[in-house]
Chain A
Amino acid sequence: MDRKLTEQPLYTIMFLSFLFFIVIPIIFTIGTALFVDGSLSDNLHLLDIETLLLLTKSSIIAFVVALFSTTFGTALGFWLYKTTVIFRGFFKIALLIPLFISPYILAVAWKDFFFYTFNNISIISSYMGVILVLTTIFTPLSMLIIGSALSNINSQLEETGLVLTSFRNIILKIILPLIKPALISSFVLVFIFTVSEFSVPAYFGVKVFTTEIFTQFSAFYNHSLAILQSALLILICVLLLFAERKHIADAPFLSIGGKGTSRKFYSLKNWGMLSQLFIFNWFFISVVFPFIILFVQSFKSGTTKFIQAFELLIPTFSNSIGLAFVGALIIVFVGFTAAYHTASKIETKMKKSFDWLLLIVFAIPSTIFGISLIKFYNQPIFDFIYSSYAIILIGYVGKFSFISAKLIGNAIKQIPNSLDEAAQIQGVTSFSRLQKILIPLILPTLFVAFIISFLFSLGELGTTIMLYPPGTEIMPIKVFTIMANAPQTLTSSMTLIVFSITLLIITSFYFLAKPFIKNYNYNND
């Protein structure tokens, strides 16, 4: 083995574990489906022009959603992270809510809203509807990515610019070029999330590539063709991410905190009212509307159904929160290990491979990932994994480690090398440098990575529904399985409870994180 690898046992263990527990099952399933079961020869002819047209259609929808989300996310990110608009602290948190609610639930709420308001759902049950709902869901992600990049612009550049030119020119010539990598990252991520999204187009009856994959799975039980079609989807996502990597390899992405740079805030003067109005309207449309619809439906015939919904969900709380908590811890650990070694100067063959592995797993549709894990782990030798919570944790780690690694990686890149080099000259060991310099400096980012991973894991449905061990109660699955045939009031009540719990958790984490971030900023000032 490469000598450098043996010098990094933790990284090597982590890389090999990820490879074995998550990547090999996928290779095993796709390889078996394509080559052993004869799928490639039997089904290749089914990948006809119509399939490619459908893929193009899905890509166009994803393109539009990514464009809108990035545009609105830029505006919101600028107003909330670079200006002095009122309640910006509240809106920074509140606008994130749609990102952590199941898209299916939001689609239901939107459709009901259109029906009760306009007595017409044809507008929402269309491509327009899919674009509208997905844009409201993914704009917060763009806002977070772009807002973080805006926070990290060195104020000296802006201040020098203000002396020499107009505000408009500063936006066009300084700010936008500096955040270009974040804009591209936002576009690429939203594109990937949208092109892989199934529940919203399915609910609105819009045929896209993922609904076609689902049909092969659920109507024809043709796993091989579904996997073959998924491979096309994976290919598109990987190509897109590859292009992003090539062009913005070292771009800051979803970075949290200032890390030594002072921030410049703008006062909007004439535009203040307009931006405040936009933010307020966005909050109303993406958060308040769905909440009102759910609230009205939950309590229209008293509190009985709400109490019943709460009783139904009680058994799921400890399992779901516990699993999401352990999952988030592992995800942050994997993300940190991958990011630390990607950012390090040590060159190994595995260095870039880990990054790519995280990325490929991230791009795989949930159902295919679930089936892959079943086919690989459902063997007597792996029973201790397959019939335990471990299989769900493997699902979470596979799906969300990429985001965690990107988040932490960019925080690490912002730490000046001089700090590490000075300690190295003093003879401080690498473990001590990690423990005493790096980790304290990126603690806020680790915390945010944990929160995001926790919330994504808490709401994960697509893979978990394929994997959850018999007899286990998991919150999003219970909501989903009870939804069918349950009275509307009960369904809305359950959704409202999940909505409220997510809100409560985001708020609690925010207040828990506040002292960390304050302390961190104070240390840096």
Chain B
Amino acid sequence: MKKLAQPIILLILLIITTSCNNNSNEVVVYTSVDQIFSEPILKEFEKKTGIRVKAVYDTEETKSTGVLNRLIAEKENPQCDLFWSGDPVRTIVLKNRGITLPYQSTIAKDINVIFKDSEYHWTGFSARARVLIYNKNLLKGADVPKSIFDLTKKEHKGKVAIANPLFGTTTFHMAALFTAIGDEKAKQFLTDLKKNDIVIATSNGDVKKRVIQGEVSCGLTDTDDAYEAIKEGANIGIVFLDQQGIGSLIMPNTVNLIKNSRNLENGKKLMDYLLSKETEAKLAKSCAQMPLHKGVKIPNNIPSLDNIIPMKIEYGKTSQKLEEIQNYLKEWIEN
């Protein structure tokens, strides 16, 4: 027994030593933004401020199961100081569950109020848009859809892909559509899509892949996926849909503080950094995100929000609509 006692004691000491992390010069961030884009920004913050960033990454490919469920499960004893989300939906879920803490950042003063929560539980920055991507070998000129409603036309039967509408930005897109055109028309549109044999992919990344490979001729995805594909040399085109009609859905990244977090001050510093023009410029360069601040230098190939007709929605109300239509969407997929 004595021989066994030594390694057991050593193991316990090792565990206790590794768990001593009462370091106040740190900030814990959970993010659903793809690690390949979010990590360099967080590293830069670390370098500039000397505050150690401890991150938990997740991805839209996994529907952000990890971070969001973790934040909900940790509600009573939060480990996270700040949540950086790729879209407003997840943040609003947290707000509705009383997990967020209001903070009005002065850095975000010039960001349009429509991209902020009315009580400052979250603030938006760098936005993506929902776009249509098409395979240039399969669709040309007038054949390329200009409106989301064109996707129900016979010539596109079985040739259009969207990601599973129960998750991620596609859910939000559907909720926005219901808000913009009303429940009845939106349901009719989805029924027509189903009749037109729409392909339901597992994620936006999967939509991108299917379009590039030519399995389908076009699909709905986000601007970052679309520009990433072009950067990789894919022969695809991008269309901002419904510029003569209801407009394209614009989805900002959002950031919020977590209620009862341990490093509140550092959390605020990181939130200010994420909301800065500097971060927006970096995200524009790395993943084609469109700045919400005025006067941010962006690469020439990145579109400006000034040139896009946005879908006129309120993010809070759209999130509420999302909760209402989720059961309908589940049935739509399954039947």
B residues apposed to A, CB below 8 Å: 1, 4, 11, 15-16, 18-21, 26, 28-30, 34-37, 52-66, 68-70, 72-74, 76-77, 79-80, 93, 166-167, 171, 200-203, 205, 209, 213, 215, 224-225, 228, 231-232, 287, 326, 330, 334
Contacts and interface: CB of A to CB of B under 8 A. Distances in A.
Contacts of B15: 384-385, 388-390, 393
A117 B53 CA distance: 45
Contacts of B79: 378, 386-387, 470
Given A202-B202, A379-B77, A470-B79, A484 B68 contact: no
B58 A481 contact: yes
The 4 nearest A-B residue pairs measured at CB: A471-B54, A388-B19, A470-B54, A484-B59
B50 to A, nearest CB: 15
Interface string A447-473: 000000000000000000110111100
A482 B202 contact: no
Given A379-B77, A389-B18, A485-B37, 4 more contacts: A219-B171, A371-B69, A471-B53, A481-B57
27 contacts: A9-B1, A10-B4, A121-B215, A202-B202, A203-B202, A218-B63, A218-B64, A218-B65, A218-B69, A219-B171, A367-B69, A374-B70, A384-B20, A385-B19, A388-B15, A466-B69, A468-B56, A471-B26, A471-B52, A471-B53, A477-B57, A480-B59, A482-B35, A484-B59, A485-B59, A485-B205, A485-B287
B66 A465 contact: yes
Interface string A360-383: 000000010001001100111001
Contact of A378 (B11, B52, B76, B200): B76
A390 B93 CA distance: 30
A480 B63 CA distance: 12
A223 to B, nearest CB: 7
B73 A219 contact: no
Interface in A468-521: 468-471, 477-478, 480-488
Contact of A221 (B26, B30, B72): B72
A220 B134 CA distance: 31
Contacts of B16: 384
Contacts of A384: 15-16, 19-20
A375 B73 CA distance: 6
Given A219-B63, A219-B167, A466-B69, A481 B74 contact: no
A217 interface: yes
Given A219-B171, A388-B18, A465-B58, A482 B65 contact: no
Given A205-B200, A205-B201, A384-B16, A378 B65 contact: no
A388 to B, nearest CB: 3
B205 A374 contact: no
B200 A219 contact: no
A280 interface: no
Contacts of B231: 487
Contacts, number: 142
Contacts of B201: 205
Interface of A: 9-10, 115, 121, 202-203, 205, 207, 214-215, 217-221, 223, 326, 330, 367, 371, 374-375, 378-380, 383-390, 393, 431, 465-466, 468-471, 477-478, 480-488
B80 A115 contact: no
Given A378-B79, A390-B15, A482-B36, A221 B287 contact: no
Nearest to A301: B233
A478 B35 contact: yes
B324 to A, nearest CB: 12
A415 B111 CA distance: 74
B326 A219 contact: yes
Contact of B232 (A375, A470, A487): A487
Contacts of A431: 1
A498 to B, nearest CB: 16
B328 to A, nearest CB: 12
A261 to B, nearest CB: 32
A485 B326 contact: no
Contacts of A388: 15, 18-19, 21
Nearest to A393: B15
Contacts of A468: 56
A31 B7 CA distance: 35
A221 B69 contact: yes
A229 B63 CA distance: 20
Contacts of A387: 19, 21, 79
Contacts of A9: 1
B19 A484 contact: no
Nearest to A203: B202
A384 B62 CA distance: 29
Given A390-B15, A431-B1, A484-B59, A219 B330 contact: yes
B166 A487 contact: no
A381 to B, nearest CB: 10
A483 B60 CA distance: 10
A487 B215 CA distance: 19
A471 B18 CA distance: 13
A390 B112 CA distance: 45
Contacts of B72: 221, 223
